[in-house]
Amino acid sequence: MHEHYDVIIIGAGLAGLSAAKVLNEKGVNFKIIEAASRAGGKVLSSERMDRYFELGAQFVNEDMTEMTGLIKAAGMEIKRTDITENSVEIDEITKKAVDRFLNDIQKELNAEMKAKDERLSNLYEKRIKDNHLIKIIRSYHSELLNINPKYLSSKAVVDSSERYLSKKSDLTHQASGPLSNLILYLEGISQDRIVYNEPVKEVFETDKGYSVRSVKNEYKANAVIVAIPPTAASRIVYSPNLKSHFQEALNSYTDGAIIKITWVYEKAFWHRYLVEEKVKRLKGVIYTNPEGIAVVDSSKAEEESRLTMFIGADIAKMLAKRDKAQRLEFALRLLIDVFGEKARNYVDAEERIWVEDPYCGGGYSAKIHYGGLYNAADLLREAYHKLIFSSSEIAHSFPHFMEGAVRSGKYAANCILEAIDGR
């Protein structure tokens, strides 16, 4: 006999754990089925005796109220990232500031992106004459969207950027301690109702509800929340009615690719950098060659000095195949090109390759490819009978961020509560 649950949640990332928190408050009998041996998904801290690194998500801002609330509930504070108004992003080749330029061009492009769907790269390659500027924009998009812009739907990109409901940068704040504390806090709420190491393979609608089959077990429930990235969800087998309703929307997404490397230094040598004959503080470096790499000052105010490099899209896929020493040397060489040999004198470093992670989507998040349904998120976030999808990608607000995942999980749980008995 299989135990019958009110709700099965597939995935114990932030979306799934946040959905579980709502269901727990309403006394619902639920179970979470997680593919990996740990909860948290793309939130992952590596902790050592003397320091920790955030290997996945790290930054928040003050408009991300669900996340700031959870960080405090988990016993931590919100700390400022050590960047100032005066900080700039520079282009590695021309050594000119690029962030203002990128903002201006983005506003112009957004209007055109909305009008007609195109491959994102076509949009600016047709309109911008300067090849170097094209490279900067391509590099910027490859890192930020972690997919080569030639594969992406421009309309979907602008649609999700409009759902980022903040005028502030997403880098301004961080938790005072490891985000794994937040995951532990949420896991504690669901306690023994999470099973690990059980990738879900099949979801079938039956006369009595749903049958969810993992690699080891079959679970029965009245309702299901599929709280995993849409690309991971597209690899599950569904009963014919679910397949015909959702599969096209799920197949509209493509996985990202990202590698994150963080170095710790004794001194923040990037605090005094000559940009266009003025000493500026660097907030990030956009490299134009190779494409798709950005570096940010990830230090927290009054804490040790850190630089974090994000390597996105094609270059991330290429570097993922090299061994660790080769990859770190390649990344370090880029820092040395910009900052000189002092970049070599780091005291500690940590990397994480997310590329081709089968369950977390490979990058910051999955994105809608050109030719897919640009409004796939709208379809996926509406319940069909008693099944609903949830993930940072499809959130109404702050998609692709932790905040979006939490909001999406809460929203999905409330929809399902309504569907099962109006609680």
Binding site for ligand FAD (CB under 6 A): 10-16, 33-36, 41-43, 56-59, 199-200, 227-229, 232, 236, 258, 260, 354, 359-361, 364-365, 391-392, 400-403, 405
- Residue 109 vs 152, nearer CB to ligand FAD: 152
Cα–Cα distance, 361 to 239 (Å, whole number) = 23
DSSP letter (8 states) at residue 291:
S
Most distant CA pair in the chain: distance in Å? 74
- Residue 124 vs 391, nearer CB to ligand FAD: 391
Task: Report the relative pairing of strands 194-195 and 30-33 from DSSP bridges.
Answer: parallel
Rounded to the nearest whole angstrom, what is the least distance from the CB of residue 304 to ligand FAD in the complex?
18
Among 66, 67, 147, smallest CA distance to 361 is for: 147
The size of the chain, in residues, is: 423
Rounded to the nearest whole angstrom, what is the least distance from the CB of residue 402 to ligand FAD in the complex?
4
Rounded to the nearest whole angstrom, what is the least distance from the CB of residue 226 to ligand FAD in the complex?
8
Rounded to the nearest whole angstrom, what is the least distance from the CB of residue 277 to ligand FAD in the complex?
33
Helices (H), ranges, 171-237: 180-190, 230-234
Identify the sign of the CA torsion 390, 391, 393, 397.
positive
Contact assessment for residue 273 and residue 90, using Cβ atoms and an 8 Å cutoff: yes
Cα–Cα distance, 362 to 356 (Å, whole number) = 5
Cα–Cα distance, 386 to 402 (Å, whole number) = 25
DSSP letter (8 states) at residue 283:
E
Rounded to the nearest whole angstrom, what is the least distance from the CB of residue 61 to ligand FAD in the complex?
9
